[in-house]
Amino acid sequence: MNAGDDFASVILVKQNFVEVLARELDKPSWVREMVAFGAATDPYQTPAY
C-alpha cells in the first residue's frame, strides 16, 4: 500500500492470528527476539505509564 488513500482506507484483519503466532514462535529458528503486535502507531514509541 502507498502512503496515501490506500493506507488510510483499508482495514486488514488476521483471522487466524493466534494459530499463526503459536506456530511461528514454536519454530526452532526463532531466536527469542522481541515481538510487537497490535501496534496501531509506531511500535518503537516509548509507552506512557
Q: Does the structure show a pLDDT above 70 at 48?
A: no
d(CA 37, CA 26): 17
Listed in sequence order, the residues at least 6 apart from 14 whose beta carbon sits closer than 8 Å to its beta carbon are 20
Residue 40 has what pLDDT? 65
The reply to whether 40 falls in a domain is: no
The tally of domains found in the chain comes to 1
Residue 26 has what pLDDT? 93
Q: Average pLDDT of 18-45?
A: 80
Listed in sequence order, the residues at least 6 apart from 20 whose beta carbon sits closer than 8 Å to its beta carbon are 14
C-alpha distances in angstroms, 6 versus 23, 39, 42? 30, 19, 18
Give the global pTM. Answer: 0.47
Q: Average pLDDT of 21-48?
A: 76
d(CA 37, CA 48): 17
The reply to whether 2 falls in a domain is: yes
The residue range of the domain holding 4 is 1-32
